[in-house]
């Protein structure tokens, strides 16, 4: 599962990386505690690629309000093609969700939540497989979710799920640009893909912010 993220790379640099036209209202980095229901930078493909903000929290069309059902920040790869909320989106509306890193939690013997920060060893951005959907009629809101899968051997030491991370060579396939099937991409990352370290429990609050949140302890 992926429930908190960071984004520290400049918007223009990310747009160039994706060869995508950036929207004017993307969230301004750096962000060290990006939480569900906030805006995240998402790449979609249509008449060319665009890099745009979306609400993190997928809203099925039948929700009558934003809080009209469970908060769907993740979509399980194993069932995504069957779930009514996701099956059309995974066929027709796949996207790339960019982040610098993300947090996961373990518990100590007393049940306290202990946060860990995950990033790439070289500091480069990671790109998650995502799905998206417009919600609402009068003023449609773009919404998205991160696709997750069972944790690989290394990630399983911390959590039983992990986000599906896409290599650059797979971006076009996930976006539906190559004509190839995207299902084989929904797999765990190889060992050594991530680096991780414990961080302060301050990040347990969704109101916390600042670069100190990702400092090792």
pLDDT at residue number 191: 79
| Pair 102, 116: CB distance under 8 Å | no
Separation of CA 80 from chain center:
15
pLDDT at 187: 95
User: For residue 49, what are the contacts with CB-CB under 8 A and spacing of at least 6?
Assistant: 18, 19, 20, 21, 43, 175
Averages of pLDDT over each 10 residues, the chain, 217 residues = 90 97 95 97 96 98 96 97 98 97 94 95 95 95 98 90 96 96 94 92 95 97
Q: Which CATH number is 106's domain given?
A: 3.90.1680.10
**For residue 47, which of 175, 181, 142, 183 has the smallest C-alpha distance?**
175
Answer whether the bond into residue 43 is a cis peptide, omega within 30°: no
pLDDT for the residue 204: 95
Structural domains of the chain, count:
1
Which of these, 128, 123, 110, 106, lies nearest to 43 by C-alpha position?
128
Residues in the chain, overall count: 217
Residue-number span of the structural domain to which 12 is assigned = 5-214
Cα angle 24, 30, 35; round to 5: 90
């Amino acid at each position: 599962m992926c429930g908190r993220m960071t984004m520290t790379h400049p918007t223009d640099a990310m747009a160039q990386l994706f060869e995508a036209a950036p929207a004017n209202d993307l969230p301004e980095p750096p962000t060290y505690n990006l939480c569900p229901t906030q805006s995240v930078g998402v790449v979609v493909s249509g008449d060319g690629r665009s890099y745009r903000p979306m609400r993190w929290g997928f809203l099925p069309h039948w929700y009558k309000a934003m809080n009209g059902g469970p908060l769907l920040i993740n979509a399980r790869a194993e069932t995504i093609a069957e779930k009514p909320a996701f099956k059309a989106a995974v066929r027709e509306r796949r996207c790339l969700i960019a982040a610098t890193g993300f947090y996961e939690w373990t518990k100590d013997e007393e049940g306290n939540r202990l946060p860990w920060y995950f990033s790439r060893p070289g500091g480069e951005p990671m790109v998650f497989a995502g799905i998206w959907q417009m919600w609402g009629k009068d003023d449609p809101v773009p919404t998205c979710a991160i696709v997750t899968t069972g944790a690989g051997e290394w990630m399983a030491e911390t959590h039983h799920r992990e986000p599906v991370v896409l290599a650059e060579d797979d971006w076009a396939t996930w976006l539906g640009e190559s004509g190839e099937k995207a299902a084989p991409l929904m797999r765990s990352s190889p060992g050594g893909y991530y680096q991780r370290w414990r961080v302060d429990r301050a990040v347990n609050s969704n109101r916390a912010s600042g670069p100190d949140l990702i400092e090792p302890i």
